[in-house]
Amino acid sequence: MSEAEQGPALAPEAAVLDALNATESNGTEALNATAKFVATPEGTALAYGSLVFMALLPIFFGALRSVSCSKSKNSADMPETITSRDAARFPIIASCTLFGLYLFFKVFSQEYINLLLSVYFFVLGILALSHTMSPLMCRVFPSSLPNKQYQLLFTQGSGDSKEEIVNYEFDTKNLVCLLISSVVGVWYLLKKHWIANNLFGLAFALNGVELLHLNNVSTGCILLGGLFVYDVFWVFGTNVMVTVAKSFEAPIKLVFPQDLLEKGLEASNFAMLGLGDIVIPGIFIALLLRFDVSLKKNSRTYFYSSFLAYIFGLGLTIFVMHTFKHAQPALLYLVPACVGFPVIVALFKGELTEMFRYEESSEEAEPKEDSSESDKKDQ
């Protein structure tokens, strides 16, 4: 929840996520700094408590869904694996993207840039929210209604040289999800309401935690360590992040009004938490859950320890921010907590080596080795 934050490792916009949590020194919204607003203790507690709760939802459910996602054979649900090389390069790419946006906002009109971004995130948000709702729709969709199958197919060429460009299969349930998501998208596009923003933001975060997989713990440490330095540098070393945060309008942060008790749903002074401070630690926590599953001990020790560590780190960020009245990079506190707690647990359990040797593909490789050995024995 740092007042400057980190983007998820999804797309170029992801690099900016760090910047989107900047607030005024008195805790008010940085994006609406036209007038200073002093929040009441009750309003502040409600806002930050709600942000913490919303941050935990995509991490918890995204991690659970990442377990089934890793076993899925459906190409649409296949995760994107982050290697150590990807992890090492990501802070550099994120920095270039962040600084590029900074220059864009300095050179070009903020209005036109945000218009393009609104349309871009309108499409992405609909797809992300539709994917998020899909499992729930499968459970609540009435069995009495027909669930017809559809296929969207685009090809290039003809005859033997025909090549598939798009081959997407979907059903009636997917169409219902898409329709509901489109309504939310139009609401966001027209009104930029904070609830619509949060629905898209939660969908982005959950999809990020579910579909972005670290291939091992070492890669996770490289990614978190690099973004730790990135976050601290761009928050404390320059004004780039804050400048982008004040200019950038997109649902890549969670917001909650501190004046909700006074103004209701029309409140406009927000506390913010960027998606990067959710997705980046979240994909590491999801990896530890899959490691727990691989141990086959019917225990979720590393998942729960890292999950509690995240709560502790986020709470510490809020405490320091309000104590010193200054924006804080959340990863400064989240990274040591989310990495340190599980490592300490592994040391006590004597599983540190096993944890760092864990590979996402190890379970798939073992059967292949067994089959080759059996072939040798048969020969």
- Going from the C-alpha of 66 to that of each of 109, 270, 355, the distances in angstroms are 40, 31, 18
Of 18, 231, 259, 292, the active-site residue reads: 231
Instruction: Please name which of 94, 81, 90, 303 lies closest in space to residue 212, comparing C-alpha atoms.
Output: 81
Which tokens in the block code for residue 6? 């980190």
**Active site includes 171?**
no
CA 203 – CA 212 distance, rounded (Å): 14
Position of tokens 């609830």?
A: 195
CA 280 – CA 117 distance, rounded (Å): 22
Position of tokens 């609909």?
A: 126
Instruction: Look at strands 253-257 and 270-274 and give their pairing.
Output: antiparallel
**Active site includes 277?**
yes
Q: Got the DSSP string for 28-78? A: -BSTTTTS-----HHHHHHHHHHHHHHHHHHHHHHHHHHHHHHH---GGGP
Residue 178 CB partners (closer than 8 Å, separation 6+): 126, 130
β-pair partners for 166 = 154
Residues 281, 61: contact at Cβ < 8 Å? no
Of 18, 259, 277, 292, the active-site residue reads: 277
CA 117 – CA 309 distance, rounded (Å): 34
Q: Which residues are catalytic?
A: 231, 277
